[in-house]
Amino acid sequence: MSATGNERQSTPSDLQARKGDTPLVCLTAYTTPVARIADAECDLVLVGDSVGMVLHGLPSTVGVTLEMMILHGKAVARGLTRALMVVDMPFGSYEESPEQAFRNAARIMAETGAGAVKLEGGASMAGTIRFLTARSIPVMGHVGLTPQAINTLGGYKVQGRGEDADRVLADAAAVAEAGAFSVVLEKVPAALADRITAAVPIPTVGIGASAGCDGQILVIDDMLGLFTDFKPKFAKRYAELGQAAGDAVAAYAEEVRARRFPGPEHVFGEGARAKS
């Protein structure tokens, strides 16, 4: 059970009220079975646009569509009873105008049952966040490294070093002032993350940031070690399931080739009394 001890599903207001309290536990999920596992311990489950890279093999999140997010959002919702579900707004679904953002955010929430949406960008997105929150759509912000902008950022680089720190701080402040209930700080120096956490009135959720943030989030496939060839610096592996899965597939293949599987206990006998 999470630190909240709630049996009902958490709301954005519940999480916002946790500012400075026990850190928020957040993970991504993209399927019903994984959502059920995460729900037991997490305060927030994010249906991240990282699904494009993790499950669909895309080179970045830029190719993720609204339909993909809704499909996976529906699946994750079926596995949650306690954690707040937040769904990422994919690239191109909100940048054009606040009105475009509202139409697509409303569709996401109506079709998935999400409790909030997340969008990337700081000061440039403050007007959109304000527009959405004024129309009953809770928003989680995301500043620092914004993966949807890698084509302009030049890759997955740390943001906010040196003189750039003031920009990231201003972005987080703008998101908070616009009405976001929390903000993700991705791949920023720890000292800057601590400054932002102290400066803004909403919870900060770190990924590659600082233990001093009000919460932490990781891509669940990273922390479970499902990728054997990819290990970002900020993602601690709490298991090595990719290697375990590879070993299991190899054992299965060996037994099939040697005709040791299926064994007598895995096949069906004849007769009405045979076990099914």
39 is in an annotated binding site: no
120 is in an annotated binding site: yes
Of the listed 163, 186, 254, 270, which one is catalytic? 186
Distance CA 204, CA 21 (A): 12
Task: Give the pairing of strands 84-88 and 116-118.
Answer: parallel
Distance CA 166, CA 154 (A): 20
275 is in an annotated binding site: no
Q: How far is CA 182 from CA 32, 172, 233, in A?
A: 25, 10, 24
DSSP state of 164: G
E-state strands within 35-108: 44-47, 84-88
Exposed e or buried b for every residue in 123-140, given b needs 16+ CB within 10 A?
Answer: bebbebbbbbbeeebbbb
118 is in an annotated binding site: yes
Q: Please confirm, yes or no, whether 67 is among the known catalytic residues.
A: no
Which amino acid type is present at position 227? F
- The residue with tokens 């850190």 is 23
13 is in an annotated binding site: no
Distance CA 119, CA 141 (A): 6
Catalytic residue set? 186
Mark the binding-site residues for Mg(2+), compressed into ranges.
49, 88, 120
Mark the binding-site residues, compressed into ranges.
49-50, 88, 118, 120
Mark the binding-site residues for 3-methyl-2-oxobutanoate, compressed into ranges.
49-50, 88, 118
